[in-house]
Chains A and B, each alone.
Chain A
C-alpha cells in the first residue's frame, strides 16, 4: 500500500531538470557558442596569469631595440622605445577583463534594481523618476559624458568606469522594466502578496529571479561594449590613464603607422577582435539557450 505512490512517482516524474540545466544542455549543442566560450576562457586565463604576475610582468621595460621585427624573443616585435609588444598586448587583456567585468557587473546590477522598481511601480513616482534619469542619460552624447566626468574627477583613473556604468545601465534597465511590467501581472505575484510578503521582498525574491536570463545576456553585451568603448576612449586620451590597454596601443601606433610599422596596431586589433568576436558568439548562444520561448 505504501509502496504504490512511490512507484507512480518514479514512472511519472521526468528526469529532474531545472531551468538552468535545461539551458546548459541547449547551450552545449550550439557549436559556435561553445567555440566562443572556449576562446573567452582562454583570454580569461591569460588575464588571470597577468594578474597573478605569471607573465607579461615586464610589459613596461625596455627589452629590445627600437621597432624590432617579429622574432623568437619578441613574438610581435618591439615598439618605438623597445618594449615588447606581445607582453603589452597580453597585459592589455587583463585591463580589458578588469574593465569589462566591473562595468558589466555593476551596470547590470544598477540596471536590474532600478528597472525592477520602475516596472513594479509603473506609473508611480519611482517609475517617473527612473524614466527621467534614463531620458537624461540617453540625451547626453556618451563621449562628452566621459570627458565631463573625467574633468570633474580631476583625471581620475575611475572616470571611465563611472561614465560607463552611468551610461550602460540604461539599456538593461529598460529591458528589465518592460519584463517586470509583464511579470507583475502574473498570478504568482498576487500569490506572493497573499502569503504576506512585502513589496520589496516580492521584487527581489520573486520578480528579479525571473529576469536572470535577461540580466545574463545583458551583462555579456555590456562586457563587449565596455571593451570596445575603452579602445576609442583611450585612443582619444580620456580612457585608461595608467597601465596599458589595446586602446593605448592603437593610440601609440598612430605615429608608427605613418613610418610603416604596423605591429602595435595589428597586435592590439587582432586580440581585441578575437575577444569581442568570441564574446559575441558566446552571448548569442546564451541568448538562444535562455530564451524561454524557443523550444528545446
Chain B
C-alpha cells in the first residue's frame, strides 16, 4: 500500500549540508503495524514527516526518492494536493500531547475542523461524528468533554483526543511519532492497546516511530531499524528479537534491561558514540562501534539485502541466523 523508494532528505545547517535520511526504502502493507526504531537523531522522525510532506523547508529538502501511496507518488503532488492527503488518507499523531492541541480552542472545535475540512459535513453532523469518535477512543462522557479545553484533560486523555482527530477521517495510514513517550507507564500501555485495537477496527496501517524496543515488541508485526539516516535492518518482530542479524540491532536488544532474568552487574551498552551526521565515516557508519568490524567495513557502504525469514540487513558480516 505504501512504498518508499530511495528516499533522501537533506538539511542545510551551519556545518554544511547534512543528509538526515539516506536512500531509505521500505514498504508497508495495508493493515500492518510497522515499527520504525532508532536512537535520537537517526532520521526516523524526518522519515515520518516526509511521508506527509511536512519536512520543514527551508532548511530541509527531499533530494530524491519516491513515496507511493497506492501507486501515486506523493512527492509529485503540489501543496494543495498534499493538503487533501494530510489528515484524510495519511494522519499523524505526535509525541507531546501537552502541546499538540491548541490551548485556546476547545477539543470540539479542533475535532470538527478536521472533519469539515475533508468531508462535506454540516457543523451539527461534524459535532456528532466528533463525539462518536471520542467515544470510540475511550473518552468517558464524550458529549460533555467535547466542550472542554485541552488544559482540562490529562496527558493520556489528550493523546486519545489526538488519536481521535487523526482517525476521524478514516486514514489508510497512521504515522505515530513517539505517541507514548511523554506518558507515564500505565497510560502508555493503555494508549498502545488503544492504537492496536483501533488499527484492527479501522483496518489501517500504522507506522510506529519509537526508540523503545519494548513498545515495538508489544505492538508491531515488523520493525525497521535506522542508524544515522540509513535503514540497517528490517525484519518481522519474532525473528528480529530472536535472532537479530545486524550487530547494531543486537546491541540495541542487548541493552534492554531485563528485570526478571538473572542479576547483572552492568547493563550492556554499545561502545562509542553515534558519529556526527555532518561528518560520517566512509563505509559502514556503524563500523567504529561494531564488534564484528573487519577491514572492508571501512571501505564500502553495505546495502540493504534480503535475508532469510523475510528480513533484510545492511551489513557485510551479519550475525548468523539462529533457529530454535
Contact = CB atoms under 8 A, between A and B. Distances in A.
Interface of A: 5-6, 8-10, 13-14, 16-19, 186-188, 190-198, 205-206, 209-210, 212
A262 to B, nearest CB: 50
B87 A186 contact: no
Interface residues of B, number: 36
B212 interface: no
A19 B151 CA distance: 9
A51 B191 CA distance: 60
B101 interface: yes
Interface of B: 52, 54, 82-88, 91-92, 94-96, 99-105, 113-114, 117-118, 140-141, 144-145, 147-149, 151-152, 162, 165
A196 B140 contact: no
A51 B83 CA distance: 50
13 contacts: A13-B144, A13-B148, A19-B103, A19-B151, A187-B100, A188-B100, A188-B103, A191-B94, A195-B86, A195-B87, A196-B84, A196-B118, A205-B105
B99 A188 contact: yes
A190 B177 CA distance: 12
Given A9-B140, A190-B54, A212-B104, A195 B99 contact: no
Given A187-B96, A190-B54, A192-B102, A197 B140 contact: no
Chain A CB within 10 Å — which of B96, B104, B152 has the most? B104
Given A5-B140, A196-B88, 15 more contacts: A5-B141, A9-B140, A13-B145, A19-B103, A19-B149, A188-B103, A191-B101, A192-B102, A193-B54, A195-B165, A196-B118, A197-B83, A205-B105, A209-B102, A210-B102
B95 A206 contact: no
**Nearest 5 interchain pairs by C-beta:** A5-B140, A195-B87, A196-B86, A196-B87, A9-B141
Nearest to B102: A188
A17 to B, nearest CB: 8
A74 B60 CA distance: 74
A194 B144 CA distance: 26
A195 B118 CA distance: 9
Contacts of A9: 140-141, 144-145
Contacts of B152: 13-14, 16-17
Contacts of A212: 104
Given A187-B94, A206-B102, A196 B85 contact: yes
Contacts of B151: 19
Nearest to B154: A12
A139 B94 CA distance: 45
Contacts of A8: 140
A17 B144 CA distance: 13
A54 to B, nearest CB: 39
Given A8-B140, A18-B149, A196 B100 contact: no
A210 B54 CA distance: 22
Contacts of A13: 144-145, 148, 152
A8 B140 CA distance: 8
A133 B16 CA distance: 33
Contacts of B101: 188, 191
A156 B213 CA distance: 73
A112 to B, nearest CB: 14
Nearest to B79: A198
A197 B148 contact: no
Contacts of B82: 196
B83 A196 contact: yes
Contacts of B52: 194
Nearest to B141: A9
Pick from A14, A18, A187 the residue with the most CB of B within 10 Å. Answer: A187
Contacts of B140: 5-6, 8-9
B84 A16 contact: no
A8 B156 CA distance: 15
A103 to B, nearest CB: 26
Contacts of A190: 54, 94, 100
Contact of A193 (B86, B95, B96, B117): B86
B102 A194 contact: no
Nearest to A198: B83
Contacts of B99: 186-188
Given A9-B145, A16-B148, A197 B96 contact: no
A210 B150 CA distance: 13
Contacts of A6: 140-141
B117 A195 contact: yes
Given A193-B54, A212-B104, A205 B113 contact: yes
B153 to A, nearest CB: 9
Nearest to A189: B102
A12 B54 CA distance: 37
A295 to B, nearest CB: 13
